Every structure is written in C-alpha cells, then in structure tokens.
Amino acid sequence: MVIPGLLVAAPRSSSGKTTVTLALMRALRRRGLRVRGAKCGPDYIDPAFHQTATGEPSVNLDSFAMPGSLLDAVAGLAMADADVVIAEGSMGLFDGIVAREGATGANADIAARYGWPVILVLDVSGAAQSAAAVALGCARYDPRIKIAGVVLNKVASPRHRRLVETGLARIGIPVLGALMRDASLALPERHLGLVQARETGDLDLRLDRLADLAEAGLDLDAILAAASSTGIPHGETFLPRPPGQRIAIASDSAFSFLYPHLEIGWRRAGAELVAFSPLADEAPAPDCDVCWLPGGYPELHAGTLAQAHTFRHGLRSFSETKSVHGECGGYMVLGKSIEDADGITHPMLGLLPVSTSYRARRLHLGYRVATLIADGVLGQAGGRLVGHEFHYASEITPPPSRDEALAEVTDAEGMAQGLAGHRRGHVTGSFFHLIAA
C-alpha cells in the first residue's frame, strides 16, 4: 500500500500546526479528494477535529508507545481507501525521548518511516529573515526526512512576508503559502488542550473559513504535488485485542478520550461497543461483560455525576460480577470523591480507594511503561503496557500498597515512578491512558 502523504510539523509547539492541518484537510476535501488524517504522538483530542474536517476517521501514530507491528497496522488504517494522508505533528518536529533511532516518539520518526515529506509551519511573528535559519536547521538536522517547503503563519503584512521570503530564497526552501496574523483563527482551548470537537458548536463554520483561507493563501497544487510515500514496511501487523466481547463504554463530554486505534481494533476483532452517557444518568447495559470508563473532563461535571443516581447504582451493580476499568478521568470517577476547582468535594462511586483534587492542580505529563501486578481485564500479571499521562488533577489519598496497586510504573527512559493505579474486586483504574499492550 503506497498512498501519498505529508506531515505538517513545526520547530516548536504553538506554531499553528493544527490551524494549517485543518485548513489543508478541509480545502483538499472540497476538491473531492478522500483525505485521511493522523496525529503523531499521544493526543486523543485532535483526531476528532481531523474527522470533522475530512469526514473520515483519524488515528494516532506513536513511534515510542507502539511497536512496529502495531504502528504499521495503524498507519495502514490511515492509508486505507485514501487519496492522500495529512498527518499532524505534536510539539516540535524532533522532540521526543532519549531512545534508539526510530523509536523516540518524535514526529520525524513517522515522516522517516513512511517517507512522508514535511510541510514546516513557521510562526514568523517577531522574526523575518531569521526564520530561514530555523528552517535550514530543521532541513539539515535529520537526513532521514525531507522538508518539502514551509507555510508561514502569523504574517503581519505584505512587507513582512517579503522579508521572510527573502531569507528562505537564500537557502532554497520553497514557500508554499502564508496565513496572516488573525487571533480569530484560534480554536477555543481549556486545560488539556482544545475544547473537544463535539463541544465546539460552530466547528463546521470554522473549518469552512479555514478552507477559504487555504484556498486563498496556500499553493494547494504544489502541496499536493509534494505528497509522497515509501509505503508501509513489510512484516506482520496487529491491532489491539478487546478486553471483552460486549463492551460498555462511557461516552459523553465527561468521558471521551479513547484512542481511535483501540476502538477500531476492538471492533475488528468482533467486539461490540455499547455506548452510554453517565452525564445523561445512563448505566452500562447489564448484558455487557466489560465496562470501560475513558478519560475526559469529570472535574468539570463532578456535580452532575454525583447526582446521576441511575449511573451510580447501575455501575456498582455491574461491578459486583463483571470487570470495570477507568482511565484518568474514569479512574477519578471510580474513586471516593473529586474536589473541583472551587474546592467543593463531590462524592463519586467509591469502588476504588482514591480521592482526587482538581483544585490542587499540578501537571502530570509523560509516557508510562506499566508492569501489571495481578491478572485482570488489562492482561496477566507481569504483562507490560505502554501508555501516557496528561492531567492536572492529583491524588490526595495515600499511594497504593502493592496489594491494591494496579501496576509498577516507569517513565519512558526507565526511571521508576513507583506503584500506580488501584484494583479492588473486579474494578481497576489508573491515571495513564493505554496505547499498547
């Protein structure tokens, strides 16, 4: 399978990658192309925006967390029936962990593995010819990748653009278009990133405006012509196996952070996914054999969840005989209580001996490698899981003992992080989001 693709990346975060990516996706879809999206790294919010922009599912590609056989299977999903793949980077183009080449989690690993040229987004606010030096450094830093050209973002004026282009002409890197400085282009954000696609009521209007700007300001023909691929390396591939045959999945504004490749893998293995909404006071279907509570924003809806009596009673009854697992926000709800930003404590399900606080905010961020302590819905004792944490809430109860902890955890470089998560009866949970087992 050789489907042409491009990676939209930048030298650093907050350069405008998402803006350019969504503008490209929507504009190319207008041309009648079947565009598929992908997000480099452990981001569970942006793929939903890609799906809205393209009308097609988007996936995550992670060179650290995914073994090659899984990474290639997920890349195959991105390429399936597509005319072009537009992948969006995260952080800076080369930012990742210290690891062997090709397994650092950096955007560049993905571009190199699949032969996707890079469209480099340059935020040129506060710079002119010096932007060319940054682009030149990116072009020369890693010989595995090719910079197809740059898109200038936050251009102040026609004169500013001429100055920037003068520098880029000197080093021979083509300019594939520009977007003027416009604060109204920014999508609304909150503490974990963009406000979710399902909560952005005017998202289609915003995407159409971005497509208008792409058609006016970007050389779409040149960008399409630059797309290419070396295809997927030959070898065995696999998608994740489901935790059960019929899986109840919490799904609403409080529970939505489920990686697409997990859901697709579960369905392809024959599992049935049955959605329910705790915010609508719905309980998991009693004929399911597993209940999964993804992450999300329970700290913003703690009062509603505390009063969701059907949900609370139904999930407690379900857990008496069947497996329940919570990730991050789901873990918080399975605990005893959540303290919100105003310092109000809301009772939760009490199925796990943990209380959390969003008032005591502290960033927890990074890959996690977990070794399971006991058999459970995630696998057998000694099984190795790779995931990612990104949350501001903190546990305010004592750390778990080995008798009740879910796993022993290290960071991506093998530094011990201690015991993590909890298990009690049929119920398990932790703050990290599973990517691969």
| Residue tagged 């009062």 (tokens) | 303
What strands, in cross-sheet order, belong to the sheet with 394-395?
345-347, 337-339, 355-357, 394-395
Strands 416-420, 422-424: pairing kind: unpaired
The tokens describing 140, both together, are 């020369």
* Cross-strand bridge partners of residue 122: 152
Torsion sign over Cα 387, 393, 399, 404: negative
Catalytic residue among 138, 288, 291, 328: 328
- Using alpha carbons only, give the angle 158, 186, 35 rounded to the nearest 5 degrees: 90
Place of tokens 């990474």: 71
Q: Which residues, 6+ apart, have CB-to-CB distance to 398 below 8 Å? A: none
Show the tokens assigned to 136.
Answer: 């030149």
How is 190-209 classified by DSSP, letter by letter? ETTEEPPGGG-TTHHHHHHH
The encoded tokens of residue 354 equal 């943990």
Cα–Cα distance measured from residue 64 to residue 80, given in angstroms and rounded to the nearest whole number: 23
As a whole number of angstroms, the distance between CA 425 and CA 352 comes to 9
- Inter-residue contact 351 to 427 (CB < 8 Å): yes
Is 328 annotated in the active site?
yes
C-alpha to C-alpha distance for 113 and 416, rounded to whole angstroms = 30
Burial code (b: 16+ CB inside 10 Å, e: under 16) for 222-249 equals ebbebbbbeebeeeebebbebbbeebbb
* Cβ–Cβ < 8 Å for 25, 53: yes
| Token pair 């506060």: residue | 126
Please report how many Cα atoms fall inside a 13 Å half-sphere around the Cα of residue 124, on the Cβ side: 34
Half-sphere exposure of residue 384: CA atoms within 13 angstroms, side-chain side: 8
Instruction: Catalogue the active-site residues.
Output: 328
